[in-house]
Structure formats: C-alpha cells, structure tokens
Amino acid sequence: MNIHLETERLIIRDLTEHDLEGIFVLDSDSRVHEFLGQKPITKKEEALKYIKDVQQQYTESGVGRWAVETKDTSEFVGWCGLRLYSDYTFNNHTNFYDIGYRLRPKFWGKGFATEASKECLNYAWNTLQLKTVYGITEQHNEASHRVLLKIGLQYIEDFHYEPENMMLRWYSITNPN
C-alpha cells in the first residue's frame, strides 16, 4: 500500500483492487450520484474498471484519486485527490489539475472532505509544485460548493458541460507560495 498523506483522522493512499467493495458501495449509492448525472453503477465490474482507470492515471500522470480511510478503524470513506485532465475539456480548459472527492454518505457532514482536500492541496503545492488547481461541482451541489470554498478555492463562474448536458461550477486556487 502506497500511503501518500495522513491527517489527524485519515489515511490517504493509492486505490487498489482491495478497495473493490468500498468503491462499489460508494458508486452504487444513488445519493452519491445525485449531482453526478444520476448514473450509479450496478455491477462490481464497473467498480473494478474505475480502480484500473485510476491506477492508469497514477502511471501516466503520477497522480489520481486516492482512497481515503479512517485511521482508527481503517474503514473505507471514499476517495479524494488530484486528477490531471488531459483527455477532457471543461470550461475551455484542457491539461489542468482538478481537486475532487467522493465520500460514502455515512461520512458526510463530518469534515472529512475538507480535511482530505486540504492535505491534497498541500501536496499539490509542496510536492508537485503546481501553480493552479481547479475544482468543478454540479451547479446545485451546495455541500461540495462549501467544501471548495473552505479549502480556499474561489468560485469563478457557471458553465454548461455539453456532453452530459449539465450546468457546472468552475473554481480555482493559485499556489500561495
């Protein structure tokens, strides 16, 4: 297991095939997908494909979404981390780093998304030496909107994402160092 970060309550590490059940529980929950196009997965094969896609991102760009687990119980919380978007265009941007997170509902409202995301931003600045990190939320996802603002991103504008016919919000933060 490749641990990247630790916080007071969390371990942030590479996703592995051992996370198959956790990813399946996360992404098959319709509440999790309320603001993600309402397309929860229905088969474990889809969860495995997601894990393999993320592992490919680790190889190709050196980063990707990481598993988040509790320190005290090692329970799978969800994922967070950075992703280099070189294969999609969002709001006329390509080749940018996005910060993201997705947590199981039983962990919502406990500050885990904020805690993990702050640590990921520190990694972006201090290890990767990035100049800017972006964030994207669905227009009505107020919980994610609040998390991004708490960790220092600035809301820029709303935009239409054509492939999914969704209204999204665009955020950014510049390296303070």
Tally of domains in the chain: 1
CA 134, CA 173: separation in Å to the nearest integer? 6
For residue 87, the model assigns a pLDDT of 83
CA 117, CA 124: separation in Å to the nearest integer? 10
What CATH code is carried by the domain that includes residue 27?
A: 3.40.630.30
Location of structure tokens 């929860």: 40
Q: Which residues partner with 82 through β-bridges? A: 99
> Which amino acid type is present at position 136?
I
For residue 1, the model assigns a pLDDT of 47
Residues of the domain holding 129: 3-174
For residue 172, the model assigns a pLDDT of 98
Ordered per-residue pLDDT tens for the chain, 177 residues: 487 899 999 999 999 999 999 999 999 999 999 998 888 999 999 999 999 999 999 999 999 999 999 999 999 999 999 999 998 888 889 999 999 999 999 999 999 999 999 999 999 999 999 999 999 999 999 999 999 999 999 999 999 998 788 999 999 999 988
For residue 2, the model assigns a pLDDT of 81
